[in-house]
Chains A and B, each alone.
Chain A
């Protein structure tokens, strides 16, 4: 559920096909995102999914799975806007 929502955001922001997005996909290497794409992606995830991602933490999120784990942890801990 969370993964589907995340996938939709990634497809929209990075202009990639849904089939290309799996938890193993690396943003830079597989999905062609540059540093500014990543900032926009993080902003979109924050706004749509009601979480907060510090820029420092964002730099460690290299794969879709990393982001998924981060978002699920935040939601699980009840940290939502």
Chain B
């Protein structure tokens, strides 16, 4: 189906929706050297009866949604696949003792982290593409079957093309609209909320929502207070339509006034008018700077609020939520919230002892681990909760496999 081909409707009273202004070869061309085991799927013809909206990939449905058809909002979404990807290179606390003045004991008691994965050559888009491919395989769909890719990251390979566009190229996601989302460690929650809204509004049919980071690029390796905290990795989910509500509710918030406590600088403002001459090409030193105590206080406060509020919105009692999947920042934060809210510590899924803090990737990595470990049962409610730079925070309540008729 080429641009403007059969299926593009004329919209009365509105400009004809212009097709993409340059020809795109839409034949499936996987350019990433993945084997068939990642793509165990039957390619579904776009526009088929059980798939993307017939209007995809051009989306003339835009005019339908803006006319306020209630039908658009009775669409629900579910997570239909998960995937993750980690660098092979494991770095333990002992390895850090050789790098900076620290100890295994200090790191473990302050944070709960024992080891983390650090890239020895993979960049963010590489990890993101692998995680996305695993998620497609988990959902049993192929690269042509997603029309939206949102990648949450603060450590993209490039400003442009985005990580999501690079994943598109790597996996041959020819039908997708792709963009990145910057929201610190809350990135995945915001990206999930965004994709959920875009599908429920009828604008899109099926999304890849990715959280991917190579924080080792942004870490100050001379600062023993921060360099031990962070890890690299990527996680992804496929968000599809469902008959019954899977994604149930979102809580989100931001506080820019408090943003200075967690900071990664961008490219320095150097141009002939700020510097007074032609600036030499800058080597920006973008490193993570954090006031640990302020961030701790912020995290413990908002995490409790988010958990309570998202339960209210979803109409589910906290006692009926078997697992809370928090952003994996620091074990002390989780312990503090568990103690204050009187929630058994075991209900918080944690992997930060092996992963460190992987920012926007932490929640989707955790979700994939739980999925592969068979911890997730049909219609089980899951509470995803995050907080991070911005400052930002949020939570999503998701019912796993809402259309399943199996009892488990």
Contacts and interface: CB of A to CB of B under 8 A. Distances in A.
A80 interface: no
B292 A35 contact: yes
Interface residues of A, number: 9
B293 A35 contact: yes
Contacts of A58: 293
Interface of A, helix, strand, loop or mixed by DSSP? helix
B110 interface: yes
Contact of A36 (B291, B296, B301): B296
Contact of A40 (B109, B292, B294, B336): B336
A52 B301 CA distance: 15
B158 interface: no
A43 interface: yes
B380 interface: no
Contacts of B110: 34-36
B296 to A, nearest CB: 5
B297 A38 contact: no
Given A36-B332, A40-B336, A43-B300, A55 B109 contact: no
A16 interface: no
A39 interface: yes
B293 A43 contact: no
A46 to B, nearest CB: 10
Interface string A20-42: 00000000000000111011100
Contacts of A39: 293, 296-297
A69 to B, nearest CB: 21
Nearest to B332: A36
A4 to B, nearest CB: 22
Nearest to A43: B297
Contacts of B294: 55
B305 to A, nearest CB: 14
A34 B109 contact: yes
- Which of B297, B332, B336 neighbours the largest number of chain A CB atoms within 10 Å of its CB? B297
B209 to A, nearest CB: 32
A54 B42 CA distance: 59
Contacts of B296: 36, 39
A39 B336 CA distance: 11
B261 to A, nearest CB: 9
A36 B291 CA distance: 11
Most buried by B among A39, A55, A58: A39
Contact of A55 (B297, B301, B332): B297
A38 B332 CA distance: 12
Contacts of A35: 110, 292-293
Interface in B295-337: 296-297, 300-301, 332, 336
Contacts of B109: 34
A16 to B, nearest CB: 16
A1 to B, nearest CB: 25
Contacts of B300: 40, 43
Contacts of B291: 55
B92 to A, nearest CB: 21
Contacts of B336: 40
A38 B336 CA distance: 12
Contacts of B301: 43
A48 B189 CA distance: 32
A34 B294 CA distance: 14
A67 to B, nearest CB: 16
Contacts of A55: 291, 293-294, 297
Interface in B108-126: 109-110
Nearest to A59: B293
For the complex of A and B, the 6 pairs showing the least CB-CB separation, nearest first, are A39-B293, A36-B332, A39-B296, A39-B297, A36-B296, A35-B293
Given A34-B109, A39-B296, A40-B300, 12 more contacts: A35-B110, A36-B110, A36-B332, A38-B293, A39-B293, A39-B297, A40-B336, A43-B297, A43-B300, A55-B291, A55-B294, A58-B293
Interface of B: 109-110, 291-294, 296-297, 300-301, 332, 336
5 contacts: A34-B110, A35-B293, A36-B292, A40-B336, A58-B293
